[in-house]
Amino acid sequence: MRTPEFEAYIAPARLYPQIWRLVLGIALILFIYLGFMGLVFWGGFAYATPFKFLSWANAVMTTQGAVPTLIMLFTFTGMALGPIIAAPACHMRGPGTLFGPLATTMRGFTTAVIIVLLVYAVYGAVTFYIEPPLTNLPLNEWLKYLPYALPLILIQTSAEELIFRGYLQQQLAARFNSRLIWMVLPSLLFTSLHYDKSLEGNLWMVLVVVFVIAMIAADLTEKTGSLGAAIGLHFTNNIFALLIISVQDTITGLALFVTPYSKSDTSTLPVELGINLILLLVVWRILRIALDR
């Protein structure tokens, strides 16, 4: 049984739920995203000059440093614009229907941010005490980038939620009743984008954690009939992962600290991933209780 809130959330998607429209919408999203990324790199070509462009582009693609990481996050603006344009262009519905009711969206977002911040802050304090991380950016430099990083991370996480828990989940749920299709399939697609063979022995554990995050976000979207809680969860999770403490050899350009171990570590990282998985389930349970009130 779907929640009444979710039925109301997918109602606009029922007007034009044809599969060919969904395929066209996905193609349009990809076109807009890649086109926007092309514009960013075209601007970089003009800025860096032809002789330095390749090194500049490589720095952005591999997030080498704070500014390249900010530019990489900025490219997600195109990903966010994709479903916002595809919804009216392919399904004759307003972009606002991707988010759900404004009041519900804002309440879910705020609730998720507060709860995830509190849980992760407690865990982070304990972790810092047991095994202090390594300093990455000086505090004054980190604070300088913070006003740019926060809205860009919000854009990045909102873009992914708009596509996977908004556009895809809505359109598939409007067409199919099976949760395997409208909940699990988008979560698997989201997980596949995080495939990184350089993780070596940790790859499958990382993919499991990503899949759990995706399923939790999908569940919260169904429960509330809006994207607010999913965006709040994803946003706050990425704040900790990108701005507070990052795993070595990952996206560390904006992080205040980095872990003493790298992403290929097979002794400590799997334990940390297991703890993170438990924390996610705790956060999910608390959020479901809080959103019931």
Locate 124 and state its tokens: 């982070």
Asked if 185 and 105 touch (Cβ cutoff 8 Å), the reply is no
Q: How many domains is the chain partitioned into structurally?
A: 1
DSSP 241: I
Taking the CB of residue 128, how many other CB atoms lie within 10 A of it?
Answer: 12
**CA 267 to CA 281: how far, in whole Å?**
23
Q: Return the beta strands (E) in 43-152 as ranges.
A: 134-135
* pLDDT computed for residue 243 by the predictor: 97
* pLDDT computed for residue 172 by the predictor: 98
- Residue 150 CA neighbour count, 13 Å, CB half: 7
Pairing of strands 257-262, 134-135: antiparallel
* Residue segments in the chain with a per-residue pLDDT below the cut of 50: none
**CA 220 to CA 291: how far, in whole Å?**
9
- Which residues span the domain enclosing 195? 4-292
pTM of the full structure: 0.94
* pLDDT computed for residue 223 by the predictor: 96
* pLDDT computed for residue 218 by the predictor: 98
Locate 51 and state its tokens: 């002789």
In degrees, rounded to 5, the angle at the alpha carbon of residue 226 between the alpha carbons of residues 82 and 176 is 75
